[in-house]
Amino acid sequence: QVQLVESGGGLVQPGGSLRLSCAASGSIASIYIMGWYRQAPGKQRELVARISTGGLRNYADSVRGRFTISRDNAKTMVYLQMNTLKPEDTAVYYCNTVPVKYSWGQGTQVTVSS
């Protein structure tokens, strides 16, 4: 059974940085397009970044230039480096395949506030 475990969230001031990690079992990170999603209170979950097995990256307009997605196939890890964080980045962040194939993990809370 595939498990997705996100970590690395926290409270950070505007302009700060965080690095999120996703441990994906079953070697799915080396097989499928992987993505980071987020869900803010009262809003739908949205895809903010994705990376193909070949390393091609795509970003939502709202995070392009500030976030960087990467993947370590050998360790089945997916990362999201988030820089220049803004209050509107506050959300629970999740990883999953693109399109979504597996149950969601517990996510990791990112709060950007002064």
Give 31's pLDDT tier (boundaries 50, 70, 90). Answer: confident
Sequence-distant (≥ 6) Cβ neighbours of residue 28 within 8 angstroms? 2, 34, 76, 97, 101, 102
- How far is the CA of 50 from the CAs of 14, 69, 93, 113, 114, in angstroms? 24, 7, 13, 26, 29
pLDDT score, position 39: 98
**Which range, of 6-10, 69-73, 90-94, averages the lowest pLDDT?**
69-73
Q: Cβ(109)–Cβ(51) under 8 Å?
A: no
Share of residues in the chain with pLDDT > 70 (%): 98
β 10-12/108-112 pair status: parallel
DSSP designation for 1: -
Asked if the model's pLDDT at residue 75 lies above 80, the reply is no
More confident: 20 or 71: 20
Q: How far apart are the C-alpha atoms of 103 and 38, rounded to whole Å?
A: 15
Give 25's pLDDT tier (boundaries 50, 70, 90). Answer: confident
Q: How far apart are the C-alpha atoms of 28 and 22, rounded to whole Å?
A: 12
pLDDT score, position 95: 97
Q: How far apart are the C-alpha atoms of 102 and 114, rounded to whole Å?
A: 35
pLDDT score, position 72: 85
Average pLDDT (30-58) is: 94
Asked if the model's pLDDT at residue 86 lies above 70, the reply is yes
